[in-house]
Amino acid sequence: MYKILLTHHLPQPGIEKLQQSVNLEIPNPDGMNYDAIYEVIESYDGLILTGGVKIDEQLLDKAKKLKIIANYGVGYDSINTVYAKKKGVLVTNTPDPVIEPTAEIAFGLMVSLMRNITALDRKLRENPDFKWDFMQNLGTRMYGKTLGIIGFGNIGKAVARRANAFGMKVVYFNRSKKPKEIEKEFQADFLPFNELLKTADVISLHAPYTKETYHLIGREELLLMKKTAFLVNTSRGPVVDEAALVTALQDKEICGAGLDVYENEPKISPELLEMDNVVLTPHIGTTTLESRTDMALSVSESILTLIDGKIPVNVVNS
């Protein structure tokens, strides 16, 4: 029987089927760090990885029995997938369950940011004498504005669908231009990267984190944006140069930012915490009970498929 290490407690409905077929062990239901995993990994056939713990060559060398790392999430930049492949270890992820909840958070940040929802909620609670006036507390209307989506994969397209309903114009940049039928379905027009930065009233980031996308949005890119523009990031923190973003916000080079991810999580630049034109959430893109359960079902299915002698659907290092 396969012996599987689960590094954090997951919703029971998502792992019930797996528990019937393998020896599933959860040494610490509150989560395991690198050292804790390294200490025990040698005896396991599979690893369900949560929390973005780094899986490096040293750990993979010790994991002599390991056949699969089922990553509980879509981003797998913490795993050395190349070395894992060399060691004969499959790495899978869970792309489908994260699409709609991540798009919801991206759009929620956008709405809250442009209409000052979070800032005004905070002021109403903190100041009983807060002034109400028809020319106070002005936000920015979303209807008719241009949303620029960087990374037009499944999540980017789900955000575009929401923008269509809000009456926004959608433009996108992607490594490859999408077919005409996709552009028509999501009412989205392709723009070159720099042109999108100059054109969009709101930019929403949905690019994966790779060497090529590290600091994709930095000082030069922020200066290309409109001074009235907003930046939303629900992809990966290091896609944005956080120090450059702080400077751009302080110098009013852009209008505001909505962030669910950060360059040095869980640390957040203290300047961002003090700004009313910034909306912050603690990496909750997939944090719904439904999504967490579906993700658990996905990692379970990957392992059960491998046990059945087949290749899992969501292998990222094949």
Which residues belong to the active site? 236, 265, 283
The stretches of the chain forming alpha helices (DSSP H) are 12-19, 34-40, 57-62, 81-86, 99-114, 117-126, 154-165, 180-185, 193-199, 219-224, 242-250, 270-273, 289-307
Largest CA distance in the chain: 68
- Please measure the distance between the N-terminal and C-terminal CA atoms of the chain and give it in whole angstroms: 24
User: Residue 109 in 3-state DSSP?
Assistant: helix
Residues 6+ apart with CB under 8 A from 233: 204, 205, 217, 239, 240, 257, 258, 259, 260, 261
> How many CB atoms are located within 10 Å of the residue 34 CB?
14
- SS3 for 249-285 is HHCCCCCEEEECCCCECCECCHHHHCCCCEEECCCCC
Cα 230 off chain centre by: 18
* Buried b / exposed e along 39-63 (16+ C-beta atoms within 10 A): eebeebbbbbbbebbebeeebbeeb
User: Residue 18 in 3-state DSSP?
Assistant: helix
Distance CA 237, CA 54 (A): 16
The secondary structure of residue 22, as a DSSP letter, is S
